[in-house]
Amino acid sequence: MSLPVSQWCRSTPGRAALSALLLWAALPPLGLWPLAWIAPLWWVLLIRQRQWSGRRPYCTLWAAGFLFWLAVLHWLRLPHPATSIGWVALSFYFAFYLPVFVGLSRVAVHRLRVPVILAAPVVWAGLELARAHLLTGMTMASLGHTQYRWIAVIQIADLAGPYGVGFVVMSVAACLARMVPCDQRPPAIWPLVPAAAVFCATLFYGYVRTSGEYAGPGARIALIQGSIDTEMKTDDGMRARIHEHYRTLSEEAAGRYGKLDLIVWPETMFRNTLITCGSNAHKPDVYKDWTRERYQRELEAFAVESRGEMGRLARHFKASMILGVDNHHFDADGVKVFNAAAFVRPNGRLAGIYRKNHLVMFGEYVPFVRYVPWLQRLTPLPVSLDAGVGPAAFPLGGLRIAPNICYESVLSHVIRRQVGTLKSQGAEPDVLVNLTNDGWFWGSSELDLHLICAVFRAVECRKPFLIAANTGFSAWIDGDGRIRPAWTDDKGRTRRQGPRRAAAVLLAEVRTDRRDSWYLRHGDWPASACLVACMVLGVVGLWGAMKRFDVKRRK
């Protein structure tokens, strides 16, 4: 016999599923962001309940989390049939965070008598920080990300990163849940006071911090968004067509916008391999008849030749260029393969290379493949990439431009570390540029989730953040997190971001943002304190479980 709807909504499965459904609706593709403020309410009610319905409530919570992440990360199945395994595996792993959140919060509320309006946001923020670091880290679809268009609310990201925004949203939801009668407790009005205090303080800080202290010098930067589905890139016959596609779009940008200081192509869209070499490159056995001097000389000549087309492009457009490129580097240890950004001067000289530091597991490399080479054959990846060492800042007039590549923009601590390293070297960047190829995902909601991460990086660092993305979304984001108007479509309408799975050329007229960022200086210590609290609650919960098990065993 089925339960009435009202009774089902009060059950453990009902409450677990209802919050998961509303939070999914608050995220792209629906993007109904106001729902995020009430979505966690039913999870918090489960925290407050002393007794749960159902035989295995934590398994029910895990199942709700699993279905939620399957829906949110559905685009992981699109690049290749084999990536469906990663889609299911990642959803399986992320699903554990929901029962852990509820379980640790219940320890705080029922064991330590911590008010739920404090316990829930602290545990949530701590677990989001853990998710950003464990298994190389992933922060897409965080609770705070639902609010990326509410500029005043997200300004606290320059204090505590995206975890701070999630803390605020969860605090309000917990206060609303505390008002609901539960376990024969009557409804309460007083939680409106802390909810209003947290909300108003967040808005006040946001309005104060969006004053925008911008100053010269500036630069005119063209972001070239082509539309090439990534699966085509494996076809060698497409190399010339990809090159012509991006060259034509660059011609359009130069014709439409006039004098440009910089032209940016997305990740790996410059299809000629960039060859670089050290002064003592390893000589393979196939060249055993060559002297070392001859091999080194021929290799250096080959490296110079590989830069030829880059130089011709920059000279043609009379502008500096940042090009996403595959880089093969020959050194004493052999050949290393990098996902790189090459900086070319208007005179055609290669003036700098950034090699991606933070690689995507199973997307760019296979773990332990150096020790077990045959693992590579079990994946669709032709080769595992090597990680670069350290950030780079490219000088552009009076500005410094710091590139990052693909999913590096997804992680707060990665971008913060790069900016901090450059600052310690006396080369703090003024503008951050992300080169990405999202053609893997066929115009899905992955594009929205990736863009949202860049909005938060701009606020955290208080620096303009530019995106050149194959198939979208390219964008110019200012230090307030606003996506600025950057191009005009065929109907003459001004647009704020590149189109979905279509080509466009965007113009960013950036200036230096002079504001300071507390997050840049101090990092994740507020969220780290929340994570420490989670660990303490875990120890308390485990100790209690062991005592209960010991009592049962003695009986």
Distance between CA atoms of residues 336 and 383, nearest Å: 10
CA proximity to 363, closest of 73, 127, 96? 73
- Provide the greatest CA pair distance for the chain: 89
Q: Residue 555 pLDDT more than 80?
A: no
End-to-end CA distance of the chain: 37
Rounded CA separation 38/42 (Å): 8
What pLDDT digit, counting tens, does each position of 524-547 carry?
Answer: 999 999 999 999 999 999 998 787
HSE (side-chain half, CA atoms, 13 Å) at 86? 18
The DSSP secondary structure of 315-376, one letter per residue, reads: HHHTSEEEEEEEEEEEETTEEEEEEEEEEE-TTS-EEEEEE-SSPPBTTTB-TTTTT-GGGG
Whether the pLDDT of residue 227 is over 80: the answer is yes
For β-strands 475-477 and 465-470, DSSP reports them as: antiparallel
d(CA 96, CA 103): 11
Beta bridge partner(s), residue 489: none
Identify the residue with better confidence: 465 or 383.
465
- My answer on whether 448 and 373 are in the same domain is yes
Q: Is 531 helix (H, G, I), strand (E, B) or coil?
A: helix
Indicate the DSSP class of residue 309. Answer: H
pLDDT of amino acid 211 = 72
pLDDT 10s digits, 357-403: 999 988 888 887 777 787 777 777 788 899 999 999 999 998 999 99
**220 and 201 co-located in one domain:** no
Based on the domain organization, do 194 and 316 belong to the same domain?
no
pLDDT band at 233 (very low <50, low <70, confident <90, very high): very low
Q: What is the pLDDT at residue 544?
A: 80
Q: What is the dihedral of CA 49, 51, 53, 55, to 10 degrees?
A: 130
- Please answer whether residues 506 and 487 qualify as being in contact, where contact means their C-beta atoms are separated by less than 8 angstroms: yes
Q: With a cut of 70, say whether residue 279 has pLDDT above it.
A: yes
Same domain flag for 372 and 411: yes
259 with 472: CB under 8 angstroms?
no
Give the span between the Cα atoms of 391 and 328, in whole angstroms.
18
> Can you name the residues that pair with 342 across neighbouring β-strands?
323, 353
Residue 212: pLDDT above 70? no
Question: What are the φ and ψ backbone dihedral angles of 306, each rounded to 5 degrees?
Answer: -65, -20
State CA 188 to chain mean position distance: 39
Residue 451 has pLDDT above 80, yes or no: yes
Whether residue 232 has pLDDT greater than 50: no
3: pLDDT strictly greater than 60: no
Between 41-48 and 12-26, two packed helices, what is the crossing angle to 10 degrees?
150
Same domain, 114 and 242: no
292's enclosing H/E stretch is: helix 292-306
Q: Are 37 and 157 within one domain?
A: yes
CA distance 505 to 242: 16
| Domain span including residue 71 | 5-210+526-554
b/e 371-393 (16+ beta carbons within 10 angstroms → b): eeeeeeeebebeebbbebeebbb
- Overall number of domains in the chain: 2
> What would the pLDDT profile of 314-348 be if each residue is shown by its tens digit?
999 999 999 999 999 999 989 999 999 999 999 99
pLDDT score of 553: 67
Per-residue pLDDT for 185 more than 60?
yes
DSSP track, 294-306: HHHHHHHHHHHHH
127 plus 224 within the same structural domain: no
pLDDT value of residue 457: 98
Across the strands, what pairs with 224?
A: 505
Pair 161, 243 in one domain: no
Chain segment 420-441, per-residue pLDDT in tens: 999 999 999 999 999 999 999 9
Contacts of 136 (CB under 8 A, 6+ apart): 358, 359, 360, 361
Encode burial over 509-536: b for 16+ CB neighbours within 10 A, e otherwise.
ebbbbebebebbeebbebbeebbebbee
- How far apart CA 537 and CA 466 sit, in angstroms, is 41
How large a percentage of the chain has pLDDT more than 70? 96
| Residue 136 to residues 124, 415, 440, Cα–Cα distance (Å) | 19, 14, 20
Q: Which residues lie across from 221 on neighbouring strands?
A: 262, 508
Same domain, 156 and 292: no
Do residues 120 and 158 both lie within one domain? yes
Tokens representing 295?
């091999």
Q: Let me know whether 476 and 530 are in one domain.
A: no
Report the chain's mean pLDDT, rounded to a whole number. Answer: 93
Residue 81 structure tokens: 């049939």
Q: Provide the token pair at 534.
A: 């989670």
> Which strands make up the sheet holding 465-470, listed edge to edge?
394-396, 399-405, 431-437, 465-470, 475-477
Per-residue H/E/C for 419-455: HHHHHHCCCCCCEEEEEEECHHHCCCCHHHHHHHHHH
Determine the pLDDT at residue 530. 98
Tokens for 412, please give them. 């707060």
Task: Supply the DSSP string of 129-172, one letter for each residue.
Answer: HHHHHGGG---TT-GGGGGTT-HHHHTTHHHHHHHHHHHHHHHH
CATH of the domain at 451: 3.60.110.10
Residue 273 φ/ψ, nearest 5 degrees: -70, 130
pTM of the model: 0.94
Do 83 and 125 belong together in one domain? yes
Pair 523, 413: CB distance under 8 Å: yes
Residue 554 has pLDDT above 80, yes or no: no
Residue 490 pLDDT: 82
Please state the rounded mean pLDDT for residues 67-93.
95
Average confidence (pLDDT) over 293-297? 92
Q: Strand, helix or coil at 437?
A: strand
Supply the pLDDT for residue 4.
Answer: 65
